[in-house]
Structure 1
Amino acid sequence: MESKKIGFIGTGVMGASIVKHLLNAGHNVTIYTRTKSKAAELIASGAKWANTPAEASKDQHIIFTMVGYPKDVEEVYSGNEGIFSTANKDAIVVDMTTSEPTLAKKLYAQAKDIGLHSIDAPVSGGDVGAKNGTLSLMIGGDFDIYEKMKPIFEIFGQNIVYQGEAGSGQHAKMCNQIAIASGMIGVCESIAYGLKAGLSMDDVLRSITAGAAGSWSLSNLAPRILKDDLDPGFFIKHIIKDMKIALDEAERMNLQLPGLALAKSMYDKLLAEGYGDNGTQALIKYYK
């Protein structure tokens, strides 16, 4: 594959691993994140540092963004030092932030007006998937741009599915987050029950992960819970943001999601108790 000039804005838990994969594949990557010290390892690995999103976007073929909240997405694209102020005509901008479908449509229209191509490409798989290059990507936007980007996506993703027009990737990610947030209740209640019954949960997991109860969360996060490892593959404060987006979108569609509303209320309680920077598996603390 021909080497591409890539800007990457937001090198957090997952973004840093994605940048490493892009560098290892021979691409020239310029990065921007709010705290430069946190990007030291990537810079040592060959990434170039930019002082603003605008600087990171100038003269790039592709610009990725992976930030925290919808307001952050708007800032890095449309702010005074944003991507849209410097990106070259025909560059492809790819937002991998889990964000609002309506915002994805807005960015698509804004990009088109200035000669850029925009797709929404939220991911699933957590820190493990990012490190292993096995992320699932949900793509919204023009199909021809998806096809052009697919070889790049395959560098760090394994399950790459085109979902439809702009915003469709974000809607698909909401489906993913709904299943994760509500499913984590089941994982934690299973562990709480098994421990209370005096079982060896390591043995229980050997049985139930291979059966009908099996899930990514049960296989990857339940063992962390048993080790009291609450480090984030995905932050509680971010899953709460995603649940709010999903509930707001559901309200617009006149759809009730009582399971998701319950999960959000439980995570809100943990956020108030100071667990916002822990991983979603910290929901186990609700039962202790």
Structure 2
Amino acid sequence: MSAGTEYTFRMGDAVWAKMKGFAAWPGKIDYPPENMKRPAMKKVMHCVFFFGTHDFAWLLESDLKPYQEFKNTFCNNSKKKSNSFKKAINEIEEFLKTGKTFKDSGASSSVEDAQMDADFDALVSGASSKPSTPMSTVKKSAKKRNLSRDSEDSGSSSSARKTKPAGRPSKKIREEASPEREPSNNHTSATSTLVSSSSSSSKKSASSAAVSNFLDRPTLHTPASPNFDLSSTSQTLKEKSIEPSKLNFGFLGLGIMGSGMVKNLLNSGHNVTVWNRTAEKITEFVRIGAKQALTPGDVIAESDIAFSCVADPQAAKDMVFGNCGVLTEMTTTKGYVEMTGIDADTSQDIAEAICLKGGRYLEAQVQGSKTQANEGTLVLLVSGDRSLFDDSQSCFQAMGRNTFYLGEVGNASKMNLVLQLMSGVALAGFAEGMALADRAGLQQKDVLEVLGLTSLACPLMVEKGKAIIEGAFPTHHPLQHMQKDLKLALNMGDQLEQPLPLSASANEVFKHAKRLGYGEHDTSAVYIRARF
């Protein structure tokens, strides 16, 4: 679409979406499917759901126009419009009235085609869009036709259906000539990624089934992570005597680590606005004084300084560059602190985007587990904007017992990966030792007791040893996060041409344990792999 007036679109807005090589098509701003990643572009983009075709695509904001304002422009030449286009118009008009989105209903009948033509002509002419034949009647008649057709087929082809694989229904595709090209998942462009919601879910289920059959293992239930009383203040926090900053703070991500950090921020007197991908978790924190935000962008708008602690580098990027993300509200008065375990390259990409919007950026990598996050005894490795580091001091005091400032962006990420590499290799070795002791007929509790009296004794080994003996593996630090950090450390070694043979072996051990279904269990579950 041609450049002109700039628009700021929000979730659920009805739009005209123009993909390269395709006619403008009605859609709405929507959340992307789980397996649909945002293209690596620093321009403002939105995920669009296309009515009629029920596909999704990432599009630049410059390729979108408000639906109502440009309705007459793109609905002209009604005689040349395809039935699919008319169906899309009817669906978006119904969406604007009821807020409901149509579901796929298969090929339409001639009665439905005639009804779409009438509805479309009425919409274009400005007449009442109320269907002459109720949609429910059309759907019922279509359902009857399908039922009768199925009953006719049952007599002649029942034996054929007996040999037909389950879950692979036949598909009837109706093609129609049209002057417009319709959005479809066969099209790929530099500025959009198109995904069919129905096909993606079927592929995902098929893939899951294949993995399950290959492993031949029962479904594993993730053990409950230790619960903490959010309203209680840890003894360590009481002893710190923190004077809270008068600034407004935000926090993105209320996971295993984020929950404890936010709890300590609130209990130390800070004003905090929170957002989490799973909204149910937010209720607990609102009860103890947090404010709720609907999107990551809203957190930035409400805060002077916002912290982010999510799962991995891709999730961190999605938080910043995604729809309604951090960049949409970033200004020269805002600060952003990335606490997700990421690599230096990802951190520098985020820093560049934040700084281009005039904001300040800091990476604060975390050493510790859920217990340390809850007690406020984490070790924080920080690098980036020094003034933002100073403004965040009261928050760092609430979260951890020690904070180290390491200079320019990237240094904290590198330091964290080095420490995680050491931890992962040591834990893999410890798990193998415990497995060997068990195979040799030794009592594991005796091994752990003797270990505690030697120079090898450390809190990590003692904590993980107890989990191995009990065999429950309650999640303090997810195994999949450790494997992610080992992978990032190996990537850093590749870039620097530094051999890391032990780290590579440890990564394979953790990777195998993750493949066996223990990714969401505690890192101590690597012992299961060591026993094989």
Alignment TM-score, normalising by the size of structure 2: 0.52
Structure 1: tracts of 5 or more residues without a match: none
Shift of 1:207: 3.0
* Equivalent pairs, count: 288
1:14-53 equivalences under 5 Å are: 14-53=257-296
Task: Assess, with a 3 A threshold, how the Cα gap between structure 1 residues 151 and 27 changes in structure 2: closer, same or farther.
Answer: closer
Larger CA Rg, structure 1 vs 2: 2
| Correspondence for 2:370 among 116, 127, 131 | 127
Q: Which runs of 5+ in 2 are unaligned?
A: 1-242
SS at match of 1:121: strand
Alignment equivalent of 1:93, drawn from 312, 317, 336:
336
Partner residue in 2 for 1:71: 314
Q: CA deviation at 1:189?
A: 2.1
The alpha-carbon deviation at position 276 of structure 1 amounts to 1.2
Residue 495 of structure 2 corresponds to residue 270 of structure 1: no
Give the match for residue 190 of structure 1: 433
Partner of 1:7: 250
Aligned residue in 1 for 2:406: 163
Query: Aligned to 1:255, what secondary structure does the other structure show?
Result: coil
More displaced stretch, 20-29 vs 195-204: 195-204
Judge which range, 249-258 or 103-112, deviates more.
103-112
Once residues 40 and 225 of structure 1 are traced to their aligned partners in structure 2, the CA distance between those partners, rounded to angstroms, is 34
- Provide the C-alpha distance between the structure 1 equivalents of 2:524 and 2:282, rounded to a whole number of angstroms: 26
Give the alignment partner of residue 252 of structure 1, picking from 490, 495, 503: 495
Contact 1:60-1:87 within 8 A present in 2 as well: no
Distance 2:350 2:530 in 1: 41
Asked if 1:108 is matched to 2:351, the reply is yes
Cα distance in structure 2, aligned partners of 1:280 and 1:254? 28
Seq. identity, %: 28
Determine whether 1:179 maps to 2:425: no
The answer to whether the 8 A contact 2:307-2:339 is kept is yes
Q: Hey, what does 1:153 align to over in structure 2?
A: 396
2:26 alignment counterpart: none
Deviation at 1:186, TM superposition (A): 2.1
Indicate conservation of the 8 Å contact 1:240/1:268, yes or no: yes
Q: Which has the higher contact order (CA 8 A, sep 6+)?
A: 1
Query: Whole-Å Cα distance in 2 between the matches of residues 245 and 7 of structure 1?
Result: 27
1:223 match: 466
Q: Would the alpha carbon gap of residues 210 and 164 (structure 1) be closer, same or farther in structure 2, given more than 3 Å must change?
A: farther
**8 Å contact kept, 2:320–2:326:** yes
1:124-148 residue CA offsets vs partner (Å, 9 max, x unmatched): 1111111111001111113343233
Q: CA deviation at 1:88?
A: 4.1
For the residues of structure 2 that align with 1:82 and 1:73, how far apart are their CA atoms? 10
Indicate which of 274, 279, 282 corresponds to 2:522.
Answer: 279
Give 1:24 shift: 0.3
Partner Cα distance (2:326, 2:421) in 1 = 30
After superposition, what is the alpha-carbon deviation per residue over 1:174-195, rounded to whole angstroms, capped at 9, x for unaligned? 0111011101112212322333
Q: 1:206 to 1:143 in 2, by over 3 A?
A: farther
* 1:170-218 superposed Cα distances (whole Å, 9 cap, x missing partner): 0011011101110111221232233334444334323323422123320
Q: Does 1:138 pair with 2:386?
A: no
Contact 2:330 2:354 in 1 (8 A): no
Change in 2 beyond 3 A, CA 1:210/1:55: farther
What is the deviation of 1:116?
A: 1.1
CA distance in 2, matches of 1:83, 1:26: 25
Q: Displacement of 1:254 after TM fit?
A: 0.6
- How far, CA to CA, are the matches of 1:167 and 1:78 in structure 2? 19
Secondary structure of the equivalent of 2:518? coil
Which residue of the partner structure matches residue 144 of structure 2? Answer: none
Q: Matched residues in 2 for 1:158 and 1:233: separation?
A: 18
Instruction: Give the deviation of 1:4 after TM superposition.
Output: 2.9
Comparing 5-14 and 109-118, the one that deviates more: 109-118
**Bigger shift: residues 254-263 or 235-244:** 235-244
User: Any conservation in 1 of the 2:251–2:306 contact (CA below 8 Å)?
Assistant: yes
CA 1:5–1:212: 2 relative to 1, 3 Å: same
* Superposition CA RMSD, Å: 1.6
Q: Is the contact made by 2:479 and 2:521 (CA closer than 8 Å) also made in structure 1?
A: yes
